[in-house]
Structure 1
Amino acid sequence: MKTVLDYSQAAEGILAEASFDRNYFGKIESIFCQGNGYLGIRNVTEEQYWGESREMYVSGTFDRASGDTVPELPNAADVLEMKLILNGCIFTLQEGNILAYRRTLNLNTGECVRKVRWRSPAGDTLALEFRRIVSLNRLHVIAQQISIAAEERAVSVCIETGVNGRITNGGEQHFSRNAKRVREGRFLEYIQVTGESEIPFFFHTAISLFLNGESFFVPCSARRERRRLFARYNTEVPAGKTLRIEKISTVHTGLDAEFAGLSWEQQAQAAFVCCREANELGYRQLADDSARAWEKTVWKRGAVQIESKDPFDALALKFAQYHLHVMTPAHDERMNITAKGLSSDAYRGHTFWDTEIFILPYYTFTHPDMARRLVRYRCLSLESACGNARRNGWKGAQFPWEAAGPNDGETSSEWGGPDLFTGEFYRMPYGQTEIHITADVVYGLRQYVAETGDEAIMEDGGYELVFQTAIFWVSRLQCGPDGLLHLYGVVGPDEYKNDVDDNAFTNYMAHWNIRWAVECCDKLQIEHSSLYRALDKRLDLARARGIWDAALRKMYLPQPDEDGIIPQTADYRSLKSIDLSAYKFRERVGSITDDYTWEELHGMQVSKQADTLLLFTLLGDYFSKEQKIANWHYYEPRTLHDSSLSLCTHSILASDVGDLPLAYTMFRHAAEIDLGPNMSSSDEGIHAASIGGIWQCAVLGFGGVRIRGGMLQITPALPNSWEKLSFFLWWHGCRIHVSAAHDRLVLENISGTKSVLVQVQDRIYTLDETLSIPLCNLN
């Protein structure tokens, strides 16, 4: 398989593109994506090419392109574009000769460097170096540095750059107004406003020039065009000299918390001052400060280290953690993580269950302050979730399958595109049927509280969220002919099974949700009577608790059959069974649809992704190890992994049932979804949930980290190719360093503020400072 990716610097945490190939723009733009949670940019080049996707997104800035569309993140103006005309030749790698090429992304620092040696059509040999950062400590700053070295003769240089607002979301234009001006003779200011949500975006940018390190001034010739503001600079590079161009840009929006209460003019002034201050620091200082922020914020707090025979494994973990911080809006609890991070507009920038089930565990264990903001986003969305339930005919709170802003409600499209042949639109009822999201949200809250001990968040909306969701579930349950309560007409995680009855995952998660509501109700009444009385007055908790008790007794939970198998749906085991070996682990997911229609798939024992098996990683206490093993051997051959969410779950469960070789194989497959040699896998953006799952494979799977009965458990089992695995965990305010080898586990209580109870295999230990525990092979 042809690939331009180079892993030779994997041990250094550096991802490289070894050659220039326009066929692979999408992959490189996505996996080299840069950002800081406030904004994210696809890694396009400064020069423009056909087939590229020049995209930048700012968290939380949702807008409707028209009245019949759903909110989406608008693709903001482009500040990266730079046209270079060298001795009359426009710099482009499609002309002239590429003598040398390499682009690297340093995952440790977030800096991208592209080095090109190029012979122009005019015969000039030039060495060009492009550097770029999106600052982690100055969230609004994008900094670029371009160096041009003239090797043989003097080169005239014309630079044209600025802000290009001619950017759309696949043709949809979100910005209806713009304003342009030049400040202080050198700062370009471009303001655009979203059409429906009326959010102002403020862009400022400035150019500085240096010849062999010495600063010099060149007057700019600014020009305004429709939706574009740019400037030209003309200079010359003598033979043997190097011209350095620094472009410092800032991006702000009217949603920024620090802009609250300010007029647009005051916001524009504050944004301008930010750009001027960043410009005074210069590229190198900005890059160094950002690198220090990466080290302090990310790597010192939560780095995972692997001693492996293959350095790709450590690179995969570094890659996952890098992108987790690029995509997560740690600055604002009004925003959440999108299904593609900030690397594309796929899924319109919406939030799914991906956050709670696949990404939140990383933050609760490594950055609990950031995890709290992600959980608070759901608390802020509670009123909207209650409105969503009412619209669908239910009570309580039904969280949207797709979410945008906290108050936007359900943002999934009810109708898909027209059939290619009939022209008829098809209905997509996921917002009404994929209801397991409601229990998933509660599960995320429960895990956060269990791991951090943060009871304050329960009083600040958490208790009501639990109660309102339990009210939803009992209103959604229907009494069947057997006298039990069922969930009819749902979609579980396996989206190859539409409109099914009694999906095991949904039923068990709903049951767990209601059970926790009962526990919370009892606890609240004893420990916080005033809050209980307030919620009881609004929700009639005394009556609701009785209804919940009755529902728990009568709710149908699929039980293991004579083979020990828990049926995924009411009729799953009676469906047609086929050999799926030809479709598993194919380069192109969904290849089975080449041979079977969706209706046919609905009637087969084939799962798109982990469904029933996911229960065993989330609700492990509900099932015995024997049940896990039996269901593993039944469902794994029937699962195609046609969703990027699936492989990580299977890897973790394979570790649990003792199949370490398969656990490692699936970990590698999960890591290769974005990082592997398939050069079209990430064209539409990185796979956010799978990236969170890569961390889970290492820490929850091979590291054996679990919460059972409110206690931290660590039972590692490393794959044969790993000598050592080490990582950090936060547990109830204590920072713990875990170092696992095949025969020994070393735990260090770094905080040293209090003792921690830890279960390792079958024994409970008290961790005060350091523990060194021999491991026995339980597999």
Structure 2
Amino acid sequence: MMNYTLGKGNYTNWIVSEVEFSPDTLGKCESIMYLGNGYMGMRSTTEEPYLKETRNLFVSGTFNKFDEEEVTELPNLADITRLDIRVDGERFSLEFGETSEYVRQLNLKTAELTRSFTWTSPKGKALRFHFRRFVSLENLHLIGIKMDVESLTHPVAISFDSGINAQMSNSGSQHFHEGERRIFDKRFVQLIQTTIQSKIDIVMNTAHKVAVNGVEVNEPVMNMDRRKVWLSFDANLDPGDQLTMDKLTTVYTSRDKDFDHPEYDLSKLREHSLEDLRTSYEQGYEALFQAHQEAWSQKVWNAYNLEVNSKDNFDMLALRFAMYHLTIMTPAHDERMGIGAKALSGEGYKGHSFWDSEVFILPFFMYANPKVAKSLLKYRYLGLVGARKKAAENGYEGAMYPWEAAWPTDGEVTPVWGAVDIVTGKQTKIWSGFIEQHITADIANAVHQYYTITGDHEFMDQYGYEMIFDTAIFWASRLEWNEEKQEYHINQVVGPDEYKEHVDNNAFTNHMAHHNMQLAIHYADVLKEENPGRFAELNERLHLDTAYPKWQSKSEKLYLPQPREEDLVIPQDDTYLQLKEIDLTKYKNQEKVGSLFNEYNLEQVNQMQITKQADVVILQLLLEQAFSAEVKKANFDYYEPRTLHDSSLSLSSHAILANDLKEEELAYSLFKRACEIDLGPSKHSSDHGVHAASIGGIWMSAVLGFAGVRVLDGKLRINPNLPKHWDDMKFTIYWKGQPVNLTITQTSLTVKAENKETIVFETYGNTYECQDQIEINLNK
């Protein structure tokens, strides 16, 4: 059972708690309380093992293919969290004896996981357990674990095994060759793994400091087994005695930038990683945790400054939860790596990056941490290699981005087969990797958004222009001429609504492809004028003089679905509005996502007016300047009742548009439902990992939605419309490189330019110029 009210004082609205242990619902807290720093992510499994646990440790970018018939995925590294504890020689488990005062909690402010409880053994002996754990934001390679055990009532013998266990897999797929295991000085344990196909070396080191009442226990017993090395400790406790264990671990790989070079030497990696552990060991858990806590304070909480004064405390906690996870899921240290759809919290989607990154996660970094946004877009630039490969393989020109991406040069890595077909009993084919193509335009639009918000000319010169041009070249080659209608179409695609496969002229795809080509025309003109040398370089490589007239002529003749005269509804595709309708009430009120497929298969759903997630609605957010308020309302009213929100991406999009349409109560309810995808009472919704894009959507709903921060025609617009129970909202964004502090109340907007550089913005149709601070009365 979850509880979000245990934080007091300085920790009010900072604590995510579980106050009742259940061995049958472990996945939720393992995921939503996972620890990480962008370099690695570690699921928050309990120390003692249980049948339904999932122990995961991932390091960004270490992709590997287990077999030629499978796609590449992030491999599950060796586990260092498990402790096999024995009390009076019998295995310790909360499934035995009696447990009281149980609390497991994640402190978002300090990024530390704790768990404490009093346990009475089947023999009637009471002990108090307290566990702590962190993955350092100060030293990206460091993990700290601490255990305290106090005997409360009787003399007791306690022993435990702890070390490095590489007997792990990805749901049965083993990604590693067994490497060398070693124990130095009966204290420092080292284990090496090497991925089977990608040949990445993983070096893990761990060390323990175990004491009773402050006095270190005798030397441990050393043990090794296949893919496993560990130490065994034992002690006797009298009532009031306390056993403490500090366990520190370092994780390094040959993919780390410092070692990924032609002169790479495994022995040097081993030596360096072990030395880091020795140095950390001398400092100890407490000092290392303090450095980690300070890093969170300076790099995250003091930098983003987001505060909401709401009558519902859950709102502030949910926003902090979002910023916590956006921080730990993002490989800010390395532009060769992207963000997985399940972040680093589970095996779901194999660590692959989707359109989620650009549409739902990147906006946070564009406004709040442009340096990280730039790194994430450089990942896509490096991915041009794979995108060009995919285009060529499909008979197109330019760059066609993979639907699922892993290492930048891998190209398309979407699995071909998925879940069971409820009618045929066969595996369902996953068509997204073949025909869900809008991601190419989504990435180009993200480049444009980044440049508009930051004014980063260097990025555009080195990376951005090339990305926009080459994606536009793809679209020009992708269009199909319809002789009868004398216009170009885009046929046989999947749009954002993945319940409609093999459709023609998906509105989202067509409009975004058109936008992509228009951006290319605009930026070609800009570049030729402002930097003719760079234009010449790209012209030689991409043949822009040939591509430019194709962009002009084809974009002019590309069919763009328009609002119908009778009701202003934009056809989602050529056939959607002619499909049959069914009563969706029970599916709209479902407890488990995807319940529709207990009764229909995808082929049948394809013939009904049922939408998985925002399609036309998200189009009207990304290209909002192209649609009037009347058209937005008509389409929201038409499509929302037909949308099941079976994708976690959907609710935040609808929340933002609902708020724009002054449907404030609906907007807030959608925002709260988005927050509850991971934080809500559902016990299994997060079993396979957190919903990374939805987490980005929580922030978007608040800042782009309720605070009304948007870019419109290249200009900053701030149209606040806070929920009625929000008294005020404060946060920092960056505009053209300058931090800008915003304070919003129900009646006013205050804008402060931190560097006192002039900022021009629009609020409710009025243009303002601010060089220091300005307060605006909101007459909405």
TM-score range (shorter-chain normalised) is over 0.9
1:87 aligns with 2:93: no
Unaligned runs of 5+ in 1: none
1:544-566 Cα distance to aligned partner (Å, 9 max, x none): 11111101211110111111111
Question: Superposition pairs for residues 324-363 of structure 1, below 5 Å?
Answer: 324-363=326-365
Corresponding residue to 1:414 among 416, 423, 438:
416
SS of 2:447's equivalent in the other structure is helix
CA contact under 8 A between 1:335 and 1:405: conserved in structure 2?
Answer: yes
SS of 1:170's equivalent in the other structure is coil
Q: 2:560 corresponds to which residue?
A: 557
Query: 2 CA distance for matches of 1:11 and 1:714?
Result: 29
1:489 aligns with 2:492: yes
How many Å apart are 1:595 and its aligned residue?
3.3
Question: Superposition pairs for residues 373-772 of structure 1, below 5 Å?
Answer: 373-416=375-418, 424-480=426-482, 481-562=484-565, 563-752=567-756, 754-772=757-775
CA contact under 8 A between 2:613 and 2:650: conserved in structure 1?
Answer: yes
CA contact under 8 A between 1:36 and 1:134: conserved in structure 2?
Answer: yes
Q: 1:232 corresponds to which residue?
A: 232
How many Å apart are 1:462 and its aligned residue?
1.6
Equivalent residue letter for 1:345: E
1:122 aligns with 2:126: no
Compute the TM-score of the two structures, normalised by the length of structure 1. 0.97
How many Å apart are 1:530 and its aligned residue?
1.1
How many Å apart are 1:380 and its aligned residue?
0.6
CA contact under 8 A between 2:217 and 2:235: conserved in structure 1?
Answer: no
Query: 2 CA distance for matches of 1:107 and 1:215?
Result: 33
How many Å apart are 1:721 and its aligned residue?
1.6
Q: 1:252 corresponds to which residue?
A: 252
Q: Taking structure 1 as reference, are residues 405 and 99 closer, same or farther at Cα in structure 2, changes over 3 Å only? A: same
SS of 2:408's equivalent in the other structure is coil
How many Å apart are 1:418 and its aligned residue?
6.8
Query: 2 CA distance for matches of 1:338 and 1:374?
Result: 12
Equivalent residue letter for 2:147: I
1:296 aligns with 2:298: yes
1:414-459 Cα distance to aligned partner (Å, 9 max, x none): 2346768867554322112100000011111111111111111111
Equivalent residue letter for 2:146: Q
CA contact under 8 A between 1:89 and 1:122: conserved in structure 2?
Answer: no
Equivalent residue letter for 2:293: A
1:500-559 Cα distance to aligned partner (Å, 9 max, x none): 000000000000000000011111111111111111122221121111110121111011
Equivalent residue letter for 1:269: E
Q: Taking structure 1 as reference, are residues 421 and 598 closer, same or farther at Cα in structure 2, changes over 3 Å only? A: closer
Equivalent residue letter for 2:235: T
Equivalent residue letter for 1:553: E
SS of 1:47's equivalent in the other structure is coil
Corresponding residue to 1:774 among 752, 768, 777:
777
Q: Taking structure 1 as reference, are residues 680 and 415 closer, same or farther at Cα in structure 2, changes over 3 Å only? A: closer
Query: 2 CA distance for matches of 1:374 and 1:195?
Result: 27
1:280-305 Cα distance to aligned partner (Å, 9 max, x none): 11111111111111111111111321
Equivalent residue letter for 2:457: E
How many Å apart are 1:706 and its aligned residue?
0.6
Query: 2 CA distance for matches of 1:740 and 1:526?
Result: 40
How many Å apart are 1:218 and its aligned residue?
2.4
Compute the TM-score of the two structures, normalised by the length of structure 2. 0.97
CA contact under 8 A between 2:421 and 2:601: conserved in structure 1?
Answer: no
Query: 1 CA distance for matches of 2:300 and 2:235?
Result: 41
CA RMSD of aligned residues (A): 1.4
Query: 2 CA distance for matches of 1:511 and 1:211?
Result: 69
Query: 2 CA distance for matches of 1:506 and 1:423?
Result: 32
Query: 2 CA distance for matches of 1:303 and 1:56?
Result: 30
CA contact under 8 A between 2:13 and 2:313: conserved in structure 1?
Answer: no
SS of 2:540's equivalent in the other structure is helix
Equivalent residue letter for 1:205: T
Equivalent residue letter for 1:614: I
Equivalent residue letter for 1:165: A
Deviates more, 1:580-589 or 1:644-653: 580-589
Q: 1:242 corresponds to which residue?
A: 242
Q: 2:137 corresponds to which residue?
A: 136
Equivalent residue letter for 1:60: G
SS of 1:232's equivalent in the other structure is strand
Q: 1:46 corresponds to which residue?
A: 47
SS of 1:610's equivalent in the other structure is coil
Query: 2 CA distance for matches of 1:371 and 1:723?
Result: 31
Q: 2:26 corresponds to which residue?
A: 25
1:722-755 Cα distance to aligned partner (Å, 9 max, x none): 1111111011111111111111111122233x11
Q: 2:270 corresponds to which residue?
A: 268
How many Å apart are 1:632 and its aligned residue?
1.3
Equivalent residue letter for 2:670: M
How many Å apart are 1:756 and its aligned residue?
0.8
Equivalent residue letter for 2:298: K
SS of 1:72's equivalent in the other structure is coil
Query: 1 CA distance for matches of 2:619 and 2:285?
Result: 49
Deviates more, 1:191-200 or 1:593-602: 593-602
SS of 1:23's equivalent in the other structure is coil
Query: 1 CA distance for matches of 2:439 and 2:613?
Result: 16
Equivalent residue letter for 2:303: R
CA contact under 8 A between 2:759 and 2:770: conserved in structure 1?
Answer: yes
Query: 2 CA distance for matches of 1:543 and 1:409?
Result: 26
Equivalent residue letter for 2:602: W
SS of 1:24's equivalent in the other structure is coil
Q: 2:211 corresponds to which residue?
A: 210
Query: 2 CA distance for matches of 1:4 and 1:311?
Result: 15
1:159 aligns with 2:163: no
1:185 aligns with 2:171: no
Query: 2 CA distance for matches of 1:420 and 1:762?
Result: 52
SS of 2:25's equivalent in the other structure is helix
1:143-190 Cα distance to aligned partner (Å, 9 max, x none): 011001122333332221000000001111101221100113310000
1:326-356 Cα distance to aligned partner (Å, 9 max, x none): 1111110000100000011111110000000
CA contact under 8 A between 1:177 and 1:194: conserved in structure 2?
Answer: no
Query: 2 CA distance for matches of 1:423 and 1:307?
Result: 52
Query: 2 CA distance for matches of 1:678 and 1:177?
Result: 39
SS of 1:552's equivalent in the other structure is helix
Equivalent residue letter for 1:593: F
Query: 1 CA distance for matches of 2:647 and 2:96?
Result: 40
CA contact under 8 A between 1:5 and 1:677: conserved in structure 2?
Answer: no
1:310-337 Cα distance to aligned partner (Å, 9 max, x none): 1011111011111111111111000010
How many Å apart are 1:646 and its aligned residue?
0.3
Query: 2 CA distance for matches of 1:397 and 1:554?
Result: 21
How many Å apart are 1:637 and its aligned residue?
1.2
Equivalent residue letter for 1:335: M
How many correspondences in the alignment? 773
How many Å apart are 1:211 and its aligned residue?
3.2
Query: 2 CA distance for matches of 1:89 and 1:246?
Result: 23
How many Å apart are 1:772 and its aligned residue?
1.1
CA contact under 8 A between 1:248 and 1:279: conserved in structure 2?
Answer: yes
Unaligned runs of 5+ in 2: none
Deviates more, 1:102-111 or 1:295-304: 295-304
How many Å apart are 1:234 and its aligned residue?
2.2
Equivalent residue letter for 1:323: H
How many Å apart are 1:195 and its aligned residue?
0.6
CA contact under 8 A between 1:334 and 1:406: conserved in structure 2?
Answer: yes
